[in-house]
Amino acid sequence: MTLGWGAWHARKASENTESFFAAGRTLPWWLAGTSIAATTFAADTPLAIAGLVATDGIAGNWFWWADVLPVVIGTFMVSHLWRRSRVLTDNEITELRYGGRPAAALRLFRALYFGVLRNAIVMGWVNLAMLKVISLALGLDESESGMVLAGLFALTVGYTLLAGLLGVVLTDFLQFGLALSGSILLAVFAVSDFGGLSQLLDGITQSQGLEGNTRVLDLIPSPADGEAFWAFLAYVGVKSWSSGNTEGNGYIAQRILATRSERDARLASLWYAIAHFALRPWPWILVGLVALARFPGLEDPEAGYVMVMLDVLPSGLRGILLAAMLAAFMSTIDTQLNWGASYLTHDVYARFINPNASQQRLIWFARVSVIGLAAIGSAATLGMDSVAGAWKLLATIGAGTGLIGLLRWLWWRINAWTEIAVMTASLVGANFVAVFTDIAFPFSLVVVVGFSIPIAFMVMWLTSPEDASVLRVFYERVRPAGAWAPVAIQTEIPLRRIGLRPWLDVGSATIGIYAAIAAVGWLLFGKLAWGLAASGISAALLFYAVRGAAGRDGEHKASAARQTG
């Protein structure tokens, strides 16, 4: 089906780079949001979650649950601005927002850093997880597993080359449904095989692998948990706003830029947040708990997920779940390849090497880039041994960048040197902490944030603001709200202050998603009253946030109509 979709959309994708990388800007919110969620659901994800549960309990998921706040900020403060900017890649915004050589240098650096280096790390850990699944599920040695992975990788590269973003998104939708259904199926069989949830909970508390820690089931660690509690505070208090994706960049921005309207952009981001944080993880957590009770003290805790799969599923269903994990793998790799190729094609080749290239030439280069990135991602796998470890590496080297990324939309004074400074300082600080100190994650992240952000603001004040003409072009096209008064007075567009309501929407949606996370967990663990109450609170808060955003959209359209008139 994926190859068929790829061939069906090949002609459309070959028309121009907007079709290949932005699906002609025709995506509805539900398809774009599902595609983002599918991208974050790879074979690595359930394995890493099972590993976190085994080492840190359910509360270990705060490593990524803390990202609810930045994703929601991106939803209500930035997503509509991305769509309004009409850029082809999120990296292109660099030379719309900034000017001169620093902006060009930043655009080139970000294209290579995110499109190649960071992309290679992501594909490397996804490949690593898939190798673990293949070798354990099929009983193959390393070379045989590598051959199977190579065939699957070639299939993914094939339809990505043909179909462009539209074909990728459509296959993501299919693959997400298959992968989610498979993970739910495994959770049901795993818990049932253990005798039900009550027997599972008894087995966990009695497991020798817990070393007396019966708080593994706590959703939030208590102060009595010591280091686990301080790690929770580091995640929620620092990681959430500093290294999180506060502006929705990368493949998230690519999907948002491909939506058909600003409303679709915001709803796509919100649906992704709900699906990503509240709906997907609980089946993995349940299987992780079963693995903890069945196989305490595993040398590789991430392997517990696959071991449960092999232990509880009968033949046939075992094959279906393996196919589901292959689908999850493909839905991530296809996005990483298409998104990374968009950087190399649009932000490197067309911008710096061949600005006069024809659309046919750009499509040719895009497809060559897909093949090159596939090779680099395969090579990166050789240097990794832990999926969760790679997650933590990326979070540390990006510490501090989330705040500056958000401020570029809200404050005129941020300049290109600010972004260059925070990215450089984060990278240097992360390596310094790793090499010269014994500070463990996530406390290393706190140190890097304390180093990188002051340097970024110091550089900002020591360098000149962006040229007024550059800021004016950005303001007139994007029409951001916030601290833009010096720019607004140069235009006929009135200044729109952020005010309190958008932040109330952000707070409501954040609490609403956390309530949804708790609701699903309580319902699964038999706490019906608590689960239903949390579900109602979640629905009310999310409705409040969406309604507030819709009201601001109406005000903006009315204002734009008056200006046009």
**Do the domain assignments include residue 261?**
yes
Q: Are residues 48 and 158 in the same domain?
A: yes
The pLDDT assigned to 540 comes to 95
CA–CA dist 501, 455 (Å, integer): 32
**Do the domain assignments include residue 440?**
no
Model confidence pLDDT, tens digit, residues 477-536:
999 999 999 999 988 888 888 888 889 999 999 999 999 999 998 888 888 899 999 999
**Do the domain assignments include residue 551?**
yes
Q: Which pair of structure tokens corresponds to residue 197?
A: 């949830």
Tokens 């993914």 correspond to what residue? 156
On whether the CB atoms of residues 31 and 271 are closer than 8 A, the answer is: no
On whether the CB atoms of residues 363 and 146 are closer than 8 A, the answer is: no
Q: Are residues 108 and 224 in the same domain?
A: yes
**Do the domain assignments include residue 379?**
yes
Q: Which pair of structure tokens corresponds to residue 278?
A: 């509240």
| Number of domains observed in the structure of the chain | 2
CA–CA dist 543, 36 (Å, integer): 22
**Do the domain assignments include residue 411?**
no
Angle between helices 142-193 and 304-312 (to 10 degrees): 70
CATH code of the domain covering residue 85: 1.20.1730.10
- Angle, CA of 485, 488 and 489, to the nearest 5°: 90
Domain boundary among 342, 362, 397: 397
CA–CA dist 448, 234 (Å, integer): 12
Residue 146, amino acid: G
The pLDDT assigned to 317 comes to 87
CA–CA dist 33, 29 (Å, integer): 6
Q: Are residues 66 and 186 in the same domain?
A: yes
Domain boundary among 348, 378, 397: 397
Q: Are residues 167 and 288 in the same domain?
A: yes
**Do the domain assignments include residue 479?**
no
In terms of Cα–Cα distance, which of 188, 161, 137 is closest to 323? 137
Q: Are residues 505 and 359 in the same domain?
A: no
Model confidence pLDDT, tens digit, residues 45-60:
888 888 888 888 888 8
CA–CA dist 563, 106 (Å, integer): 34
Q: Classify the phi-psi angles of 261: left when phi > 0, otherwise alpha if psi is within -120 to 50, otherwise beta.
A: beta
**Do the domain assignments include residue 50?**
yes
Helix or strand holding residue 538 (H, E): helix 528-564
**Do the domain assignments include residue 392?**
yes
What CA–CA distances, in Å, run from 327 to 116, 251, 499?
23, 18, 44
Domain boundary among 366, 397, 428: 397
Q: What is the pTM of this model?
A: 0.85
Domain that holds residue 131: 2-397
Q: Are residues 373 and 230 in the same domain?
A: yes
Sign of the C-alpha dihedral, residues 86, 88, 91, 92?
negative
Q: Are residues 503 and 393 in the same domain?
A: no
In terms of Cα–Cα distance, which of 170, 261, 242, 97 is closest to 269? 261
The pLDDT assigned to 387 comes to 57
The pLDDT assigned to 558 comes to 53
pLDDT tens for the 565 residues of the chain, in order: 766 766 676 666 666 777 777 778 889 999 999 988 888 887 778 888 888 888 888 888 998 899 899 999 999 999 999 999 988 888 889 999 999 999 999 999 888 888 888 888 888 878 888 888 888 888 888 788 888 888 888 888 777 777 677 777 888 888 888 888 888 999 999 998 888 887 887 777 666 444 444 577 778 887 877 788 888 888 888 888 887 677 777 788 888 999 999 999 999 999 999 999 988 899 999 999 998 888 877 788 878 888 898 889 888 888 888 888 888 888 788 888 888 898 999 999 999 999 999 988 998 998 899 888 888 888 877 666 655 666 677 778 888 888 998 999 999 999 999 999 998 999 899 889 888 888 888 888 889 999 999 999 999 999 999 999 999 999 999 999 999 999 999 888 888 888 888 899 999 999 999 999 999 988 888 888 999 999 999 999 999 998 877 766 655 555 555 554 5
The pLDDT assigned to 550 comes to 75
The pLDDT assigned to 556 comes to 55
Q: Are residues 240 and 91 in the same domain?
A: yes
On whether the CB atoms of residues 495 and 478 are closer than 8 A, the answer is: no
The pLDDT assigned to 50 comes to 84
